[in-house]
Amino acid sequence: MLKGWTMKWVLTAVMLMSASIAVAAGDPRDSNKRLAYNGSSMECLVANDFYAVHFTALQPGKQTGEKTEFVKYCREIPSTGMLYLTLDMLDRDVRTTPIALRVVEDVLDPATGKYKSGETLKEEPARIYKSGTADTHIEITRAGHYAVIATFGQDEVIGEDDQLKIPFSVGAESPHKSGDMPKKIAFGMAALFMLFVGWFIFNHIRKTKKFVIENP
């Protein structure tokens, strides 16, 4: 029989890896058994070398089984209309830093094949968000690609590191979509780890039986 601490470690590992497999397989519910919204895990986290935020787009309406009056989305919003955009700051230090928000249209640059910031559709002047959540709202009437640009600080010279761009799409598939490869990689890593746990248990039991036989 496995020792108490060994069994506890193994069970903990199995639970963690089972959760990882569920996420990798696209489980539609979060760890609290609530309906998870589109891209509510890693795709909603946006960061550069200095700042990191969790992005959420909300639209009026209800999702099946939920009581809230808003439906949450991340990088892909299925339909046009009023959007409430929120940026939850993961660094507490930025709660004392002025932050300006700008919603822009993302346009494709034929020369590079990449999207770049186009016309500014909405702008929020720099201010301090003591709650750690910066927000704005805008009505999008045309399907396409857009972005929120958060500028940190009020210095005369703002560098690229002081800006965080969060692209999102409305009524269109995101050109920034990462696809299923990250899920496949996560699933593969989880499966390998489960094999390792199984080998560990088997090897431990085999050694225990051998010890009992040799030392009756």
Helix, strand, coil % in the chain, rounded to nearest 5: 30, 40, 30
- Name the band, by pLDDT with cuts 50, 70 and 90, for residue 29: very low
Measured CA to CA, the distance from residue 120 to residue 59 in angstroms comes to 21
What is each CA distance from 119 to 28, 70, 145, 146, 173, in whole angstroms? 35, 28, 12, 10, 20
Distance CA 106, CA 26 (A): 28
Convert the pLDDT of each residue in 165-193 to its tens digit: 999 999 988 776 544 444 444 445 555 66
Distances (CA, A) of 81 to 49, 69, 84, 148, 187: 33, 15, 10, 16, 36
Instruction: Provide the mean pLDDT of the chain.
Output: 75
Is 146:35 a contact under the CB 8 Å cutoff?
no
* pTM for the whole structure: 0.63
Q: Exposure of 88 by Cβ count < 10 A (0-12 exposed, 13-18 middle, 19+ buried)?
A: middle
Q: Stretch 33-43: mean pLDDT, rounded?
A: 47
With vertex at residue 156, the alpha carbon angle to CA 55 and CA 109, rounded to the nearest 5 degrees, is: 55
Q: Is 112 helix (H, G, I), strand (E, B) or coil?
A: coil
pLDDT digits (tens, 9 = 90+) for 58-97: 998 866 666 778 889 988 999 999 999 999 999 888 999 9
Amino acid sitting at position 194: M
What percent of the chain has pLDDT above 70? 58
Range in 80-89, 101-110, 129-138, 152-161 the model is least confident about: 152-161
**Is the C-alpha dihedral spanning 158, 176, 47, 68 positive or negative?**
positive
Spell out a b/e string for 149-173, using b for 16 or more CB atoms within 10 Å of the CB, else e. Answer: bbbbeeeeeeeeebbbbbbbbbeee
Indicate whether 2 pLDDT > 70: no
Work out the percent of the chain whose per-residue pLDDT is above 90: 40
Q: What is the CA radius of gyration of the chain?
A: 23
